[in-house]
Amino acid sequence: MVSYMMGSQNDIAKIFKALHRPGDPIILTNVWDAISAKAVAALPETRALATASYAVAVAAGLEDPELTLEVNLRGAAAVAKIAKAFDKPLTVDFQDGYGEQLEEGVKTLLEIGAVGINLEDFSRERDALYDVGEAVERVKTVLRVAAEAGVPDFVVNARTDALVAGHPVEEAVKRGKAYLEAGATTAFIWGGREKGGTTRVEVEKEAKELGGRLNVSLVRVVPGGLTVDELREIGGVGVARISVGPQLMMRSVGAVAEEAGKILRGEGL
């Protein structure tokens, strides 16, 4: 098991930030509750824990857009206990930051021990993208709140939904660059399920333009996606962070249904 002999919360944040290396990315197999967190944290290859808001919402009987700050924080707190027990950094999928509740929410995440968040630039309240300037200020707000709490190396993975909103990849890259300049560690250009994700050509362009400071969602449910080895070299620089979102949760549901079916048919375990 990897152990970081953790010190202060900012020491943990520094360790987590240092794991974001273009060409040698940190791989996050996103979790959604204490059980999944414990299973992942126990793996010797796991270097950090990360939540997936979609999976947290589904586990609470909600759709992703219905996930409230309170429910998300409750899920994060459960995972944070496991992160602490297994000596792992924790980053939380914080959706769009919940409007005016952004500072309040980040303060609570810091209190439970989180050292990073995923922050989106699509406002659910407005049903539209934040203007670039406003989205940049929200990234800066997160980092200011974290610094005031003694965690100046807090990691922001700044997600843009520009592609999903119908903008070209150039606009997504422009937003990604702005968020990185504002202090984000990585940018995450989300392709969206409806769009079919991000194409290989788009990822190559994004990685090259952002100097590898890119988060990519690894596709495991649908065949034909980019592999980890390909992502280490894509665009000539590779990416710095790979995540899987809610895909482990989706697969676990199928496994539970399969085993339950065997029992109900009298086959036993």
* Residue 224 pLDDT: 62
> What pLDDT sits at residue 197?
76
Q: Is residue 67 part of a domain?
A: yes
**71-108 burial code (b ≥16 CB/10 A, e <16):** bbbebbbbbbebbeebebbbbbbbbbbbeeebeebbeb
**Helix, strand or coil for residue 230?**
helix
pLDDT at residue 186 greater than cutoff 60? yes
In a domain, 76, yes or no: yes
pLDDT at residue number 269: 66
What is each CA distance from 62 to 58, 71, 117, in whole angstroms? 5, 10, 21
Instruction: Please check whether residue 2 lies inside any domain of the structure.
Output: no
Tell me the CB-side half-sphere exposure of residue 237, using CA atoms within 13 A: 19
Residue 144 lies in a domain: yes
pLDDT of res. 4: 52
Range of the domain at 43: 9-264
Predicted confidence at residue 223, as pLDDT, reads 53
Counting residues of the chain whose pLDDT is more than 70, the rounded percentage is: 94
* Lowest mean pLDDT segment, chosen from 19-28, 101-110, 161-170, 212-221: 212-221
Q: Encoding tokens for residue 134?
A: 């406003």
Q: What digits encode the pLDDT tens for the residues 152-172?
A: 999 999 999 999 999 999 999
Instruction: Please tell me the total count of domains within the chain.
Output: 1
- Confidence check: pLDDT of 8 > 90: yes
Nearby residues of 243 by Cβ (< 8 Å), 6 or more positions away: 27, 28, 29, 30, 50, 52, 188, 215, 216, 217, 218
What's the confidence (pLDDT) of residue 198? Answer: 81
In a domain, 4, yes or no: no
Q: Is residue 203 part of a domain?
A: yes
- Please indicate, yes or no, whether the overall pTM of this predicted structure exceeds 0.75: yes
The 10s digit of each residue's pLDDT in 34-91 is 999 999 999 999 999 999 999 999 999 999 999 999 999 999 999 999 999 999 999 9
Residue 186 domain-assigned (yes or no): yes
The model's confidence at residue 1, banded by pLDDT at 50, 70 and 90, is very low
pLDDT category of residue 2 using cuts at 50, 70 and 90: very low
pLDDT band at 7 (very low <50, low <70, confident <90, very high): confident
pLDDT band at 6 (very low <50, low <70, confident <90, very high): low
If pLDDT is split at 50, 70 and 90, which confidence band does 191 have?
A: confident
Residue 5 has pLDDT above 60, yes or no: no
DSSP state of 132: H
Looking at the domain assignment, is residue 141 inside a domain?
Answer: yes
CATH number at residue 28: 3.20.20.60
pLDDT tens, 218-254? Answer: 875 455 678 899 999 999 999 999 999 999 999 999 9
